[in-house]
Amino acid sequence: MSQSNEAVRARAARRRHMQQRQTVIFGTLVAALLLVGLLGGAVWSGVIPSPIDIPVNSGEPAPTPEPIAPPCPPADTTPVAYADISANVLNGTDEQGLASRTAATLQNRGVEVGNLADGTPYGGAVQITTGPLGVTAAYTLAGLFNGAQIVLDDREDATVDVLLGEAFEGVLSEGEVTLDPEAPIPAPEGCRPIEDEEAEDVEE
């Protein structure tokens, strides 16, 4: 009988010992998690400097390039019909869906939209890139945006690329567009004639 009581007491002692160990282990884990959470919150809020100096992508675009002289529109040329413009729309920001939403608006105006893609990060509003054949189309599209900059490249067709930047404010409504479809496109101050641009490319 005494041996049976001793066995019972031994089992009870083992259970108490196991419960004590579990309590210590779980208590230690909870304390460690709380400590990690407190330290993480302090680092996040800047109270404690981060021990790892890894740059975080803040979503800031590359610096906006210095404005360059745009190509002049051909003399006495009026804007082209939106239906005659073929454009690619590029997203130069971290905003998801910006290119597709803008492309849909341009399509509603009649513009033929080709490719939608991510572009080079751009800090300006809109950069429209065109070849010599698409300059008139580029100026027509520029009339749909505030702060659009036109850049000339050596492409051999009339397709234009519309790069949307961090300062992009959306497509102007029809009532806000000031470009007169019946009047010649005004040449901006400081623009460079296309002939000069092409001659410079040949020299290079």
CA proximity to 124, closest of 99, 88, 94, 92: 92
Q: What is the pLDDT of residues 86-102, one digit of tens each?
A: 999 999 999 999 999 99
Q: What is the structure's pLDDT at 24?
A: 78
Tell me: do 173 and 105 sit in the same domain.
yes
The letter for the amino acid at 134 is G
**Residue whose pair of structure tokens reads 């010649």 in the numeric block:** 184
Radius of gyration of the CA atoms of the chain, in A? 33
For residues 89 and 176, state if they share a domain. yes
Instruction: Name the pTM for this structure.
Output: 0.66
DSSP string, 54-67: ------PPPPPPPP
Instruction: Report if residue 133 sits inside a domain.
Output: yes
The verdict on 37 and 86 lying in the same domain is no
State which residues form the domain around 6: 1-51
Mean pLDDT, to the nearest integer, of 20-44? 74
For residues 202 and 22, what is the distance between their CA atoms, to the nearest angstrom? 81
What domain count does the chain have? 2
Verify that 47 and 139 share a domain, yes or no: no
Position with higher pLDDT, 182 vs 39: 182
